[in-house]
Amino acid sequence: MSKSLIIVESPSKAKTINKYLGKEYHVEASVGHIKNLPKSKLGVDVENQYATTYETIKGKEDVVEKLTKLAEESDKVFIATDPDREGEAIASDIAQEIDSKNSKIFRVLFHEITPNGIAEGMASPKKIDKNLVESQRARRAMDRIVGYKITPFIWKTVYYGLSAGRVQSVALRLICERESEIKAFVPEEYWSIIGEFQAERSESFFAKLIKIAGSEPKVSDSVTAEGYVNDIRKQEFSIADIQKKTVKRNPAPPFITSTLQQEAANRLRFSAKRTMMLAQKLYEGIDLGEEGIVGLITYMRTDSTRLSDDAIAAVREYIYDSYGAEYLPKEPRVFKKGKASQDAHEAIRPTSIKFTPKHVKKHLDKDLYALYELIWNRFVACQMNVATFEQITVDIAGGDYIFRASGSIPMFRGFLQVYDDVMEEKGLADDDDPTSKIPADLKTGQRASVQNIIPKQHFTNPPARYTESSLVKDLEALGIGRPSTYAQIVSTILNRKYVEQQDRKLFATELGMVVAKILVQNFPNVLNVKFTALMEEELETVASGKNNYVQVMDDFYHPFIKSLEKVDKEAGKIKKSLQEETNELCEVCGKPMIIKWGRNGRFMACSGYPSCKTTKPLAEDLEKHQHVVGIKCKVCGGDMIVKGGRFGTFLGCSNYPKCTNTQPISMGIKCPKCKDGDVIERKTKRKRTFYGCSNYPNCDFVSWDKPVLQECENCKNPYLVQKTSKKKGDYLLCPECKEEYVQEATAIAV
């Protein structure tokens, strides 16, 4: 008897499914896409209804041959690639390759890799959804046209080797516009005034000045602040009003792709790409020892907060048993569907309530466990009772002045027992805010004597730079990209060196600013936030069958090609506009030197090119990379100088290339692990800074936080690390005992 063939994308998923289905089935992996548009040509016939030409990916010939042979030997073929647009397109390609007799080919969807999830999928075989395939083909064709047509334009105007993308370029635009806002920002001075008061038979407390003569205070300089402080000291104050009310906080919905990426970035410091890689592993299956390979979470590319009835029933029983009846709402909580949600899959949740984080911890590495625990806690918390607080507001009045203290006291923690969300993001009183600590025995009408008046200078802050988390959040809000593309968007602009990541913040590079400016100025109607969002909406109409491939491609292509034809003739002028004249003359031919763009950034070149090919680094780059540091080369005795490399700065011999000796730049801290090497600054391939041992790979010490040469007073660890948060600002932390310190001006950050 011949077996039925099941084709999935990944070998690990194939292994898990094969365990559940047994000997009647043969489960094989396609290892992702088997076809793609050709590398050497456009592959989209714009004159023939945008017909696409797909070729077998180089290296996948053996996979296709094996799948075809197995399909011929099987009585039925079930294609179980991922349950999304990309998976549907892979399924279509596989179906075309393995068998023209489509009557024995079925499409099955596994939303979770568990016995129940697989049984449900196998019980409901379908035909391949042509609308979903067309939607994916349209997205792919759009991206190919933009990349294939605009990339040569970027080569002509900036330099050869750059590239552009439809959605990625819009994301770059957002980052560059934020960078411009930050650079143009002019801080404005303002002052706040905090009063320390003491009522009769009560502890002193702090309150903030909120009104002067009935209006919001506007204190713009120290002279004005001092005037108010002196006048306030003359007034007699009393408790004018005390307001108490119960405030409820609802739990957040279960995770969707974007919110998982955001929370994993904020709490775990994972990149979007790493989050999705780990989530993929949790979805496809983890070896739990005696229980075998188990998919621990549902499908991780989703925009829906919907939960199945079975999952809700199971988690409600768990909450009742683990926390008690008071933590369980009377009715299951249903979350509002987002405007752009397609609701094709459930939210991201654990596949079984029996697989608690504690139960699976020994089978997961540190990062997998951290992400699973995050998903678990969010899922459980979303079906728990609200948290309630008593919010207290106290007004203290005297003369024309009103001060206010506000605080909240937990009455019932509810879902916070499981998932304690970040308080400052919810606008609740910060525990470190002195005005949030209010004595319990205050009464209206009590006299409140002034103990101290504290004026404090502030300056307005520029807009915050994007992080991966906040960029994904804005892309989702603007309707740009889909759950499956967020991680790729961020990775692409980082890999192209249009953006750099430092301390989790995204900085537009000079190159990124130039490329974004050219694209926005010359393709305003195509690389436009609203237009890109509109194209996403149209792609969804293709997926739902309300629109067709050709119409959507027409809506995209005609305005695009019109813009391209117009600006392509101006490429030479645009390139010239990027060049800067200098007062320096060429040492070879005497013609003026100009500043141009190249692979390694800006440089000076002779204006007589191509007859004269003289080039040289910019003066500031020369100074930066040739800085003599007073250290002698251990090999030849020459001066060691600071140079820049792929993974950051280092010391190189000034006699290069005769002497190729190099050494890392020490931070003045001995490695705490091996006690022999020095802690040095390095960069990852994606330009993220980290700190490691100079004896690597013999010593694997690494820290994402910058070490500071200051001994911990508690455990005597020889160094601390710099940390920052919205709640605490900048502070120092001992990596060993976790003791925290206010960052001292005398501490040497090395």
Q: Please list the active-site residues.
A: 299
Determine the Cα–Cα distance for residues 110 and 300; give it in Å rounded to an integer.
12
**Cα angle at 448 between 446 and 451, to 5 degrees?**
165
Q: Please name the amino acid found at residue 458.
A: H
Of 94, 131, 129, the closest CA to residue 109 belongs to: 129
User: Which DSSP helix (H) or strand (E) runs through 35?
Assistant: strand 35-36
Q: What is the CA radius of gyration of the chain?
A: 31
Instruction: Report CA 364 to chain centroid distance, whole Å.
Output: 23
d(CA 218, CA 241) in angstroms, rounded, equals: 23
Residue 330 is given by DSSP the state S
What b/e sequence results for 451-488 when a residue is b if at least 16 CB atoms lie within 10 Å of its CB, and e otherwise?
Answer: eebebeeeeeeeeebbbbbbbbbbbbebbbbbbbbbbb
State the distance between the two ends of the chain, measured CA to CA, in whole angstroms.
Answer: 71
Do residues 348 and 255 touch, judged by C-beta distance below 8 A? yes
User: Hunting for tokens 């004597």 — which residue is that?
Assistant: 449
The DSSP code sequence of 213-262 is TTB-----SHHHHHHHHHHHHTS-EEEEEEEEEEEEEPPPPPB-HHHHHH
Half-sphere exposure of 590 (CA within 13 A, CB side): 0
Q: How far apart are CA 218 and CA 239, in angstroms?
A: 23
List the Cα angle 147/152/158 in 5-degree steps: 115
508, 179 in Cβ contact below 8 A? Answer: yes
Strands (E), 373-473: 387-398, 401-412, 447-459
